[in-house]
Amino acid sequence: KQEVTQIPAALSVPEGENLVLNCSFTDSAIYNLQWFRQDPGKGLTSLLLIQSSQREQTSGRLNASLDKSSGRSTLYIAASQPGDSATYLCAVSSGGGADGLTFGKGTHLIIQP
Amino acid sequence: DVKVTQSSRYLVKRTGEKVFLECVQDMDHENMFWYRQDPGLGLRLIYFSYDVKMKEKGDIPEGYSVSREKKERFSLILESASTNQTSMYLCASSLYYQETQYFGPGTRLLVL
């Protein structure tokens, strides 16, 4: 059964720093990996989706990489801002068909002004 | 923009009541999903549907059922609510297999 782990569970950094969030998964036979952000009490917002054949995806200040063979992904946030404060969730799609995602427990990120 | 809406943001029910959670998406997506989110456990898949009237069990289907009579609407049903079903319920949809999932704002359910 697929398991997804995110390290660290919480992170607090000063504004302006570049930072990396980590995600690992136990079964490398994935179809894709998604990064989401969740603000307190809200739903999830999709940030980036990386297909299993891709190595990375970029959107603005965000860059996500995927190393399927080692079961790892990283989310790089450049020039962090207080508005980036949220919980970041990593999720993988492992099965065929329209099956759901397996989520990590998230990294709670605080950007200090 | 994709919009996924859920019928209630907050809901309080009594043990034993039948509870309906409704989800509607406006982008003609094929697939719809129900998850629950609990502190320390993260998000877990309850059920998903890949077509009208079609459904598949996720990781934790016990105590739940679903209904998809129209493509845009996916309902989660708690046949007899119990206190351990107190949780945040999130609905999502995606256009095709293995595509980006878009989430609704969630329904926070309290069962007393």
Condensed to tens digits (0 to 9), the pLDDT of residues B20-46 reads 999 999 989 999 999 999 998 999 999
Q: Does B31 sit within 8 Å of A46, measured CB to CB?
A: no
- Kind of pairing, strands B19-25 and A72-77? unpaired
Query: Which residues of A fall within a CB distance of 8 Å from B90?
Result: 43-44
Nearest to B80 by CA among B111, B49, B59: B111
Burial of residue B80, with CB atoms counted within 10 A of its CB: 0-12 exposed, 13-18 middle, 19 or more buried = exposed
Q: Is the pLDDT of residue B82 over 80?
A: yes
Q: Which residues of B touch A (CB under 8 A)?
A: 4, 30-31, 33, 35, 40-45, 48-50, 56, 58-59, 90, 92, 94, 97-106, 108
Q: Does A98 sit within 8 Å of B106, measured CB to CB?
A: no
pLDDT given for residue A96 in this prediction: 56
Q: Give the list of residues 6+ apart from residue A40 with CB closer than 8 angstroms, or none.
A: none
Q: A49 and B100 in contact (C-beta within 8 Å)? A: yes
A98 has a chain B CB within 8 A of its CB: yes
Q: Is the pLDDT of residue A3 over 80?
A: yes
Q: Does A100 sit within 8 Å of B48, measured CB to CB?
A: yes
Both tokens of residue A5? 């782990």
pLDDT digits (tens, 9 = 90+) for A42-92: 889 999 999 999 999 999 999 999 999 999 999 999 999 999 999 999 999
The Cα A1–Cα A95 span in angstroms is 11
- Find tokens 């359910």 and name the residue: B109
Q: Does B103 sit within 8 Å of A44, measured CB to CB?
A: yes
pLDDT given for residue B98 in this prediction: 73
The Cα B84–Cα B93 span in angstroms is 26
pLDDT given for residue A1 in this prediction: 83
